[in-house]
Amino acid sequence: MNQLFPIFVKLDQIQTLLVGGGKVALEKFQALITNDESLNLTIVAREIIPEFETLLKEYPHIRLHLRPFEPTDIAHKRLVIAATNNMELNEQLRKLTEQHNILFNAADKPALCDFYLGSIVKKGDLKIAISTNGKSPTIAKRVKELLNDLLPEEIDETLSLMSAYRDQLKGDFESKVKQLNEHTKNILRHER
């Protein structure tokens, strides 16, 4: 049973640590940067693949330390992502993050994770996170492709109009929700 609780994190407001510099670390970085180019990120890696190093030049605010991980690297961090093939290091990171109440993700190690990085569908301000509870990133990718094809490009215009409409509504919260629900019940049928 999938008991994950989806949340959307403001990556520019919390400090995140990415440990690793290989292809998987690059993939995790791309997932993060695609969602927030101003994210507050530190990367620690013994070495970094050339394409990752080249990409990082586009983001001078990202801190890169080319050296082994040190326990002090987790100071002030709220999220830690391990993208290493070093199980010993991953387990050390798991223990450290647990001790310091930091949320932890280890790439391709669901048992070590507090959270997963799901597939994301993004159409302007609409963002949909997809999770398979760590069971199949490939299926999540296919669902992402399906939703990307199904959702109209105009959805962002609709969101802007709905925001303006919501601002004009009078009444208490419950009344506004009723009015918005009535107004939007057929909206996606009309956009196709």
Return the closest-CA partner of residue 34 out of 106, 135, 118, 137.
118
pLDDT of residue 33: 96
Last residue of a domain, which of 69, 100, 117? 117
How do residues 22-33 score in pLDDT, each as one tens digit? 999 999 999 999
Locate 20 and state its tokens: 């690793």
* pLDDT at residue 52 tops 90: yes
- Per-residue pLDDT, averaged over 128-133, amounts to 88
Query: Are 108 and 33 within one domain?
Result: yes
- Decide if 108 is inside a domain: yes
Query: Are 97 and 158 within one domain?
Result: no
pLDDT of residue 37: 94
- Decide if 105 is inside a domain: yes
How do residues 67-119 score in pLDDT, each as one tens digit? 999 999 999 999 999 999 999 999 999 999 999 999 999 998 888 999 988 88
The structure's pTM equals 0.83
pLDDT of residue 192: 46
- Decide if 143 is inside a domain: no
CATH number (domain holding residue 66): 3.40.50.720
Instruction: Count the domains in the chain.
Output: 2
Query: Are 172 and 94 within one domain?
Result: no
Question: What does the alpha-carbon distance between residue 68 and residue 80 come to, in Å, rounded to a whole number?
Answer: 15
Query: Are 90 and 16 within one domain?
Result: yes
79 strand-pairing partners: 16, 103
pLDDT of residue 104: 97
Residue-range definition of the domain harbouring residue 168:
154-185
pLDDT of residue 139: 92
- Decide if 85 is inside a domain: yes
Query: Are 31 and 85 within one domain?
Result: yes
How do residues 54-75 score in pLDDT, each as one tens digit? 999 999 999 999 999 999 999 9
- Per-residue pLDDT, averaged over 40-51, amounts to 98
- Decide if 192 is inside a domain: no
Query: Are 162 and 106 within one domain?
Result: no
* pLDDT at residue 7 tops 50: yes
Percent of the chain exceeding pLDDT 70 equals: 96
Question: What does the alpha-carbon distance between residue 180 and residue 111 come to, in Å, rounded to a whole number?
Answer: 41
Q: Is residue 139 within a helix (H) or strand (E), and if so which, with residue range? A: helix 137-150
- Decide if 174 is inside a domain: yes
pLDDT of residue 162: 80
- Decide if 74 is inside a domain: yes
pLDDT of residue 5: 87
120 strand-pairing partners: 129
Question: What does the alpha-carbon distance between residue 85 and residue 46 come to, in Å, rounded to a whole number?
Answer: 12
* pLDDT at residue 189 tops 70: no
Helix, strand, or coil here: 66?
A: strand
- More confidently predicted of 153 and 10: 10
